[in-house]
Structure 1
Amino acid sequence: MSTVSQRTALTPRQLTRTAERLSFLYLERCTVHRDSNAITAQDAEGSTHIPSATIGTLLLGPGTRITHQAMSLLAETGAAVCWVGERGVRYYASGRALSRSSALAEAQARQWANPRTRLAVAREMYCTRFPDEDPTGLTRQELLGREGRRVKDCYRTQAARTGVPWHGRRYVPGDFTAGDTVNQAVTAAAQCMYGIAHAVVTSLGCSPALGFIHSGHELSFVLDIADLYKTEIAIPLAFEIAADHNGDTDIGGRTRRALRDRIHQTALLDRCVNDIKHLLLPPNTLDDPASSDRDSVTLHSDGERHVAAGINHDGPDDYTQVTW
């Protein structure tokens, strides 16, 4: 019986920085294994070696199998792993976040916990969606009202552009076929956007539950992020699919495949990462590659100060230091 390698695990400071890695690597219909310090992707065409230290997040699509040794190596080298649908349009599960730093998670919690900053982030999200408007000073109810009007306008605009009749949004939870063709396409596109957003939010180490617009659900922040691209990408594509369905009953499948290609063409995954950082992190840290890559452990002290960890703070007579 083979034994697990006894090689010493890499320390955090030996790992490749997040900024120097591939943001996302997508694999499908292959077996992922390990060969020394590389992972291998083997399919009918052969085997491809991928240096594990260069991977930020590995997206495992349909038809993939991954070995225990491959997962062990990815964990050692600090890569995140997500099990997804085709091109990431569905999110199923994940293993660890991409970043060892808690900077984004703490920034999200800090912005969410204060009603003023929570509203400020909600306004910034509105700006991201509709850059031609200034939401400064708007209340939450006013934001919701304006967002509702803009989405209605988007539906009408896309209906006029594609010639697809539009009689309003109709969706019955659990009954995909209850809506007409265009409503089915809109629903499928929205679900795909939720999958994309969930994969990115999880890989960055943020909390899917702490939303700034949505609330009370385990995926509130995921819904917030997915909505950033609803009127720009999801709704227009759904109307295009509905206009060109030619009697095809697999509207959901056609929409998912089309959105998969659109996501790839627009590099939406990378854009989603940048938007989340812009929304949560202080402006003066966005250009600092170490801001979300920091690999240090500190302790909370008084006055919002942080002091070194690994040290006994009782005094110099019993000084103890731990090397992380």
Structure 2
Amino acid sequence: MNIPMKIRILLLSLFLLILSCNTDDDNQNNETEYKQKMREFVIGISQYSKSQNSQFIIIPQNGIELVSSNGDASGQNDNAYLNSIDGNGQEDLFFGYNNDDEATPSSDNEYLRNLLNKSKNNGKTILAIDYCSTPTKVSSSYNQNKNAGYISFAADKRELNSIPIFPSPIHNENSADIKKLSEVKNFLYLINPSNFNTKSSFINAVTATNYDLLIMDLYFTDGSSFTTNEINQLRNKANGGKRLVISYMSIGEAENYRYYWQSNWNSNKPEWLDAENPAWKGNYKVKYWNKDWQNIIFGNSNSYTQKVINAGFDGVYLDIIDTFEYYE
């Protein structure tokens, strides 16, 4: 049958429209699914930790879309997720989104703040990390975060391997004993101890400061974990007050320098191990919903979370939450 050209064009247009609608629906379903899988992962870590210590602190970094049921500021609060966490960490809020020491575009800042405020208005503490080193920009970062109701840290190096010398004294310095996250007025994000030759030098540098909260790594550069006694030392502020000490833990990427890494994975990857992150060598995306990966992170005596608990940390700071974007 010879179909007229106009009819053929009309049928083709209709087919493409239907296909586009189906593709949009599939994409939306995928986005919802991968976000929900990450929510469930965080909730599992929280339940496991808090069953041992109800005061154990859970702070996911980035991936703030998870606080909303539809991943957007217009959505309802995802209460199951919000009830499992104590705060949110957010990088690049006012500085560093595109380049370090450069102001974050206002549209991106507004997008993030709209979602962060859903969490803040639900009683969660917001920890904001800006990457800037120029003194005027550092001051601007602290002032803008203060006006927004967030606790902030201006990191002068993206590697997070140093204690900034500006400002001095530190923002909102105080001598109070900090016993819960809501009492924190400032914090130090120092997860890379590569600039310190020994654990003692690291401990001495931190205890010479008056930060209310320290976010650090469970392990020193030699691969040894910090002990309960060392964590207790790190709780001491220079002015006599006490701080909280939180352990960094990546759950959206596997790191080939961690205790769990097996050498044969380089040639015979487990099912859950995915592509290497080109920006951070040695870090690999993971199918975070896979039970074998989750068993590495929590739920048993040899899990990463259990090691953090055993060392005496006050909580965990969960990174690469936004890896759901990679799979979407």
Specify the TM-score bucket, using the shorter chain as the normaliser: under 0.3
TM-score, normalised via structure 1 length = 0.27
Q: Please identify which structure carries the higher helix content.
A: 1
TM-score, normalised via structure 2 length = 0.27
